Amino acid sequence: MVDVDYKWFLNANPDGYDYGKRIIAPIFTELENLTIRNTDLQRTRDLPIPKLISGEVNVITHTLSMEVSEA
């Protein structure tokens, strides 16, 4: 086990805390947003796979219908 001296933390400067909070808070907010986005992307990726495997969805048909609608 590592012996760490935490006494410096007990006497921390409040200005340093506020500065650290201003720097770290946006990082954690971005981390939370990216985690949510990643979960959404995983769901979006995983939902069509069983339909593709079972043949319920045909990629060629969808591709052709998209090309026709764009023209």
DSSP string spanning 38-66?
HHHHHHHHHTHHHHHHHTSS-HHHHHHHH
Q: Which one has a higher pLDDT value, 3 or 24?
A: 24
At a CB cut-off of 8 Å and minimum separation 6, what does 1 contact? none
11 DSSP 8-state letter: T
**What is the tens place of the pLDDT at every residue in 9-68?**
666 677 777 887 888 899 999 999 999 999 999 998 888 888 888 888 777 765 555 555
